Amino acid sequence: DFTIHIRNVQPEDMGTYYCTKFVKTFSGEEVFRRGNGTEVSVQAKPSPPLVSGPEQRAREGQSVPFTCTTGGFFPETIGVKWFKNQDPMMAQLPQVTEWGMKTYNMSSTVMVTLQRGDVRSQLVCEVQHSTLPAPLRGTYQLSRVLRVLPGVELRAEPSPVDVNKTVTFTCLVKEFYPANVSVSWLENGLEIKVENVSRPSELPQGLFELRSQVEVQATEEKNGSMITCVVVHDAQAPANYSTTLWISNPDQG
């Protein structure tokens, strides 16, 4: 019995195996008889697909690439489908390359134009292969790369205001993502201390808003003062929004 056993079969074990009988001669050994050969093929399942996106956040309206990769599979033929939520997407043809001994890797790329409604959207990469009873799926939450810049509205009481009146200024930071935002106040370029620091609140669609207020005593010397709301969103450059405080009859007691 010249049976052989291959344990822990790997793709590199594929090939044709021959049972060969040698005979001894004066010059060494010679092949006396050899079988027709037994061909061994090995199938290997692809690894779970991994979806990767941009390293930095991108603004709504930008088109950015996402890549799905899997590897270690055999045979070479493999299928890939992309979905955004439940909707099929068009993608570039997958790139299949040989890796190591008799296994293959696959890479597929899709371009996505980000929208403000994508805070709750999900990309799905679905891989189909002859070794799989059901497709493998990799996912990616678009909220990981989406940036929605805020709209800002600076509200103040109608001018002019009565002298010595306490005037409230409101900075409304609207519909932004992600939530990290800071608001500070300036009076003629000098920072105003705000006692109550506001926190962003989440809107139903997943975006955020923030309302910050500051109170200023409308004394005579503040007539014509510039009140500025400074908004910094997601480590971007500061954006300034200003209004002027006018006081009625500032020269009268």
Does residue 137 sit in the same domain as residue 212? no
Q: Per residue in 116-151, pLDDT tens?
A: 999 999 999 999 999 999 999 999 999 999 999 999
Does residue 185 sit in the same domain as residue 122? no
Single out the residue in 113, 147, 181 at which a domain terminates: 147
Q: Per residue in 152-164, pLDDT tens?
A: 999 998 889 999 9
CA distances from 156 to 153, 229, 245 (A): 10, 11, 9
Confidence band, pLDDT 50/70/90 cuts, at residue 22 = confident
How far apart are the C-alpha atoms of 226 and 181, rounded to whole Å? 23
Supply the pLDDT for residue 185. Answer: 96
Omega within 30 of 0 (cis) for the link into 160: yes
Omega within 30 of 0 (cis) for the link into 250: no
Does residue 88 sit in the same domain as residue 158? no
Supply the pLDDT for residue 46. Answer: 94
Does residue 234 sit in the same domain as residue 172? yes
Does residue 125 sit in the same domain as residue 195? no
Confidence band, pLDDT 50/70/90 cuts, at residue 172 = very high
Q: Looking at 8-118, which runs of residues are DSSP E strands?
A: 15-17, 20-25, 28-34, 38-40, 50-52, 58-59, 63-73, 79-84, 87-89, 95-99, 103-113
Helix, strand, coil percent content, the chain, rounded in steps of 5 = 5, 55, 40
Does residue 188 sit in the same domain as residue 106? no
| C-beta separation of 242 from 154 below 8 A | yes
Supply the pLDDT for residue 137. Answer: 97
Assess if residue 37 is contained within a domain: no
CA distances from 179 to 62, 188, 200, 207, 208 (A): 20, 28, 6, 8, 6
Q: Per residue in 193-252, pLDDT tens?
A: 887 788 999 999 999 999 999 999 999 999 999 999 999 999 999 999 999 999 987 565
Stated pTM of the model: 0.79
Assess if residue 4 is contained within a domain: no
Does residue 169 sit in the same domain as residue 91? no
Please state, as a whole number, how many other Cβ atoms lie within 10 Å of the Cβ of residue 153.
13
Identity of the amino acid at 204: P
Assess if residue 119 is contained within a domain: yes
Residue 12, pLDDT > 70, answer: no
Does residue 179 sit in the same domain as residue 95? no
Does residue 226 sit in the same domain as residue 171? yes
Establish how many alpha carbons lie within 13 A of residue 171's alpha carbon, considering only the half-sphere containing its beta carbon: 28
Strands 122-128 and 79-84, by their bridges, are antiparallel
The C-alpha angle with vertex 235 and arms to 232 and 238, in degrees rounded to 5, equals 35
Does residue 55 sit in the same domain as residue 136? yes
Supply the pLDDT for residue 238. Answer: 95
CA distances from 25 to 18, 22, 30, 35, 128 (A): 21, 9, 7, 21, 55
Domain count, the chain: 2
Residue 21, pLDDT > 80, answer: no
Q: Per residue in 216-228, pLDDT tens?
A: 999 999 999 999 9
Does residue 59 sit in the same domain as residue 99? yes
CATH number of the CATH domain containing 176: 2.60.40.10
Assess if residue 97 is contained within a domain: yes
Range of the domain at 70: 50-147
Assess if residue 194 is contained within a domain: yes
3-class secondary-structure state, position 101:
coil
How far apart are the C-alpha atoms of 184 and 228, rounded to whole Å? 8
Does residue 54 sit in the same domain as residue 140? yes
Q: Per residue in 48-88, pLDDT tens?
A: 999 999 999 999 999 999 999 999 898 999 999 999 999 99
Single out the residue in 120, 147, 174 at which a domain terminates: 147
